[in-house]
Structure 1
Amino acid sequence: MNQWRWGRRSLRTRLLTTVMVPLMALLLLNSLITYVGALFYANHVHDRNLIDDSLTLMQMMATESPDGRVSRQAQFLLEYEPQEHNDFSVFSRAHGLIAGNPSLQPPDGLFKEGNEAQLYDVQIDNHALRAASIQMTNPHDASDLLEVSVAETLHDRRTEARQILLLSIPAQTLLIFAAFLLVWLGVRTGLRQLGPLTTQLANREHDLAPIGDEDVPAEILPLTRTVDDLFGRLRDMLALHERFIADAAHQLRTPLAGLSVHAERAKASSDPATIADALHHIQRLIQRANRTSNQLLALTRAQTTTHEAGDSEPLNLAILIPELAGQRVHEAIAANIDLGYDGPSGPLWIDGDRHRLQEMLDNLIDNGLRYAGNGALMTVVLSRHGDDICLAVEDNGPGVPPAWIERLGERFFRVPGSAEEGSGLGLAIVQRIAEWHGAKVRYFAAGVKSGLRVEIVFPAIRESDRLV
């Protein structure tokens, strides 16, 4: 158990890891930026110093070198570098190299306008150097130009950039650590807000009331709303189960009581006629209980109004309804009822469930077979009215008094005075299945004086929507 707990993912760990990894990457990026910036600054300072050295050498050539030579002391200062060797050169346009390293010669075209110092990169003996050159008039020959150049290695520049980087890394690391510590404290404090919610849920026993949005952090709202939706589905499911149990107890009480009475009759009597009559009643009550239980299950399924993916599909009622009605013709013939169909030849598409539609049509036909009467006419009618599709089942039986029309579709409601046995669930099942399909159920008198017409009006789907 402990191993399972340690192996479980921690939200705190994931949050801190999510923050720490970018912070470390930010430290590396900041170090790179710091080094590039320090190198840029070092280059700028050293370039300025190179220009100053070239100007100093030019001044010295103009004032302190009457023979055009550079003193040994000045040469030492110009070339001195603790780690590597710097260079200088003085070239004459007329006489060539006057002093310094012959390899350090400014490239052609370097001086385009004026006599300002120019900076450039050069390779000498496989060493990269940065050089500054300036032009001046030869003080001993006014017709001649001198090109004075001073170059240094890049070692000092890079060393200074690294030193700046090394000085900044501890401060940056400390700053990142402080930021991580603040994030850790923030995450820890933020996760504590889940405590009251956890306590609230833990203290519930059978309470499925919504958690609500009050005092719930915005980041947790999607989770609590999902839990509220789950609670709602559980409440509906429990209510459905409780209703089923209550309905079953209500409907099966009478058949079970009758079974007990007729079983006692058969047990107490030795008369074969009495025993046969009791067994006949027992058989009828068993059939009634069986039908009632089946209808209760069908009603429970129909009361599930939640649509899941794949529950419905495009159905062509012009093909489906004649097929389903044709399966009941033999029962209609046995009941001496003329069952027919009237509908268009073109397609009538709805979005529905085949099994639920079959259950609905079977209950409508059962209702007609049970109450229309011997020799009655019953017709299944399918038609289209604008954007709606109407499925109707009508008969010319005794019908329903206008006072009771509005109550059709209620659970366990049976028209007073009806001689036929029934559970009062058939039209209730039709009502629930119609609601599942987003359809409306309407009841009318089929004729002027008699009969009943039940209409289910479905929303049609367009051909383009069916093909998507």
Structure 2
Amino acid sequence: MKKSPCVKFHSLRVRLLVVVLSTLLVFWVVWIGCQVVTMSRHQTGQWDSMLRDIGTQIVLSMPTELGRLSTSERFSLPVNQSYKGDKISFQAWLHGKRLAFTSPGAPDTPLKPDFADGFAETTVDGERWRVYAVSDATGALQVQVGKPKTVLMADLERWSTLSLTTAVLVLLLLKASIWGVVHWSFKPVTAVQRALRTRSPLDFHPLPTERLPNEVRPLVASFNTLLSQLDTAMQTEKRFIADAAHELRTPLAALLAHAQLAAEADDPQEAKAALRRLTAGVERSARLSEQLLDLARVDVSKPGQSETVPLYETVEMVVRDFEMVAVQKKQRIVLDLEPCTVAGHVDAIGILVRNLVDNALRYTPASGRCVVSCRTEAVDGRDVVRLKVADNGPGVPVDERERIFDRFYRVPGTGERGSGIGLSLVARIAQMHGARICVGEGIDGRGFGIWLDFEPAPQAPVRPAPREPQPPLAPGRAPQAA
């Protein structure tokens, strides 16, 4: 496949070279043209001045007996020497009729046939001449001094050739210098390119930026930022896959064992008990799978894309989903809600609330109580939206409270078997939304409580006057919002 000629101009080296050399070439052409015009006028002025001076000196140098000297013999140069003058010719005419004497090589016909004093351009024997004529005070003698125009053009051609040759040499030297400097400056970029070509696909180490030019360094720094983000995403994927495989291995093995026991049991009661254990294992596996999916969804969430979320509506909707769980365990849920909004992801906040309520109901014993509140409060002189979930269960030891948000960590000694993902999801979502998370005692100095302080959403609705929460619901009834 042939490359298009325009592809070459995608190179910064070629672009810089073409632009600089083209600019200099245009400058040189204009400058030489101006110099040619100037030199032509200057040379003409010099010629005229020289011709006038020579003619005047010859007139002043001639004796009055010039007529008697015109027939005399002339001196000659030695044999080993020859005359190679400036090709300036002059003639001396007496009374405009008789040629008294001429310079060597001068034509025999008058250089200025009209014998008028001053400058003129004439043609002698088919050749153009620049001529100056000057007469003495009596008008008896006139000296005509001339120089062929071809000599002037030869001088201009010689000067133009020298200037163009110098310009071409300067342009070639400049081209070599620019190419060398650009090539030397882009050596670190070429080294980075070679390093990328030989790097393994999963190598996300930052590229070196020490010797790069200042114009290219920000671009490579942006690449390094992107590589760092890719590395973080890849490590998160690896960790998620490893954790998911580790956590799913045990419940799947338990499910297989319960299924085999149910299949091999001869006693219907033993088979029924095995099936109950199998059902409980399926429920735990389904819950674990749901939490792993939630974890994956949170990991790919983009913090910059947020919306106004009515937190009180989300809380009430999530609590409604846990009605049957609370009824089966004879637990009571109290909702204490006020209209309040936060900026964030509605799906992520729903995951956060669901894990908080699930964690509270899971570790609260039968006939226990759970309070879920959402209100705007003043903290340190500013308003925050506080979401709190508290229970009166066994609680969490003080020395274990810092670790409950670690992924797959479970507090030792608890009767419930959890996955250790729920509270880690809560911590991740809180960090993503810039919420402050705190833990402490639950209801009436017992149990466990978690509350999160969110920044209110811009232009949030005015907080209404709080209303007293309704009494706790009797076991078996659906929760109600205060």
Q: Kindly tell me: are residues 182 and 432 of structure 1, through their superposed partners in 2, closer, same or farther at Cα, counting changes over 3 Å? A: same
Alignment-derived partner of residue 394 in structure 1 = 389
Q: Kindly tell me: are residues 21 and 203 of structure 1, through their superposed partners in 2, closer, same or farther at Cα, counting changes over 3 Å? A: closer
Query: How many angstroms apart in 2 are the aligned matches of 1:388 and 1:397?
Result: 28
TM-score of the two chains, using structure 1 as the length reference: 0.67
Gaps of 5+ in 2: 57-94, 97-111, 138-149, 461-482
Deviations 1:205-253 (CA, angstroms, capped at 9, x unpaired): 4763634536643355345434433332232223212211221233222
Q: Kindly tell me: are residues 164 and 305 of structure 1, through their superposed partners in 2, closer, same or farther at Cα, counting changes over 3 Å? A: farther
Deviations 1:28-54 (CA, angstroms, capped at 9, x unpaired): 222102222442344355457778999
Number of aligned pairs?
386
**Kept in 1: contact 2:373–2:389 (CA 8 A):** yes
Alignment-derived partner of residue 40 in structure 1 = 38
- Taking the TM superposition and a 5 Å limit, the aligned residue runs for 1:244-263 are 244-263=240-259
How far off is 1:13 after superposition? 4.8
Deviations 1:321-380 (CA, angstroms, capped at 9, x unpaired): 1221221343343314334243356xx553x22222222122222223323444524223
In the alignment, residue 224 of structure 2 is paired with which amino acid? Answer: D
How far off is 1:408 after superposition? 2.5
Alignment-derived partner of residue 170 in structure 2 = 175
- Taking the TM superposition and a 5 Å limit, the aligned residue runs for 1:437-448 are 437-448=433-444
Query: How many angstroms apart in 2 are the aligned matches of 1:184 and 1:197?
Result: 20
Secondary structure at the residue paired with 1:80?
strand
Alignment-derived partner of residue 365 in structure 1 = 357
2:455 corresponds to 1:414 = no
Deviations 1:187-213 (CA, angstroms, capped at 9, x unpaired): 455555555545544554476363453
Alignment-derived partner of residue 72 in structure 2 = none
Alignment-derived partner of residue 75 in structure 1 = 116
Secondary structure at the residue paired with 1:357?
helix
Q: Kindly tell me: are residues 268 and 6 of structure 1, through their superposed partners in 2, closer, same or farther at Cα, counting changes over 3 Å? A: farther
Alignment-derived partner of residue 82 in structure 2 = none
Secondary structure at the residue paired with 1:420?
coil
Query: How many angstroms apart in 1 are the aligned matches of 2:323 and 2:392?
Result: 16
**Kept in 1: contact 2:386–2:453 (CA 8 A):** yes
Gaps of 5+ in 1: 59-69, 89-138, 140-154
2:380 corresponds to 1:382 = no
Secondary structure at the residue paired with 1:75?
coil
**Kept in 2: contact 1:395–1:451 (CA 8 A):** yes
**Which residue of 213, 227, 245 maps to 2:208?**
213
**Kept in 2: contact 1:440–1:458 (CA 8 A):** yes
Query: How many angstroms apart in 1 are the aligned matches of 2:217 and 2:195?
Result: 15
Alignment-derived partner of residue 270 in structure 2 = 274
**Kept in 1: contact 2:319–2:357 (CA 8 A):** no
In the alignment, residue 348 of structure 2 is paired with which amino acid? Answer: R
**Kept in 2: contact 1:365–1:393 (CA 8 A):** no
Alignment-derived partner of residue 315 in structure 2 = 325
**Which residue of 2, 13, 16 maps to 2:14?**
16
Secondary structure at the residue paired with 2:374?
strand
Tell me which structure has the larger Cα radius of gyration: 2
Secondary structure at the residue paired with 1:218?
coil
In the alignment, residue 210 of structure 1 is paired with which amino acid? Answer: H
TM-score of the two chains, using structure 2 as the length reference: 0.65
**Kept in 1: contact 2:392–2:443 (CA 8 A):** no
Deviations 1:246-304 (CA, angstroms, capped at 9, x unpaired): 21233222211211211111221233333233223222212211211221232233345
Secondary structure at the residue paired with 2:434?
coil
In the alignment, residue 266 of structure 2 is paired with which amino acid? Answer: S
Alignment-derived partner of residue 423 in structure 2 = 427
Secondary structure at the residue paired with 2:410?
coil
Secondary structure at the residue paired with 1:413?
coil
Query: How many angstroms apart in 1 are the aligned matches of 2:382 and 2:5?
Result: 58
**Kept in 2: contact 1:247–1:296 (CA 8 A):** no
Query: How many angstroms apart in 2 are the aligned matches of 1:39 and 1:7?
Result: 38
Secondary structure at the residue paired with 2:418?
coil
Query: How many angstroms apart in 2 are the aligned matches of 1:285 and 1:10?
Result: 66
How far off is 1:455 after superposition? 2.1
Comparing 79-88 with 219-228, greater Cα deviation is found at: 79-88
Identical-residue share of aligned pairs (%) = 23
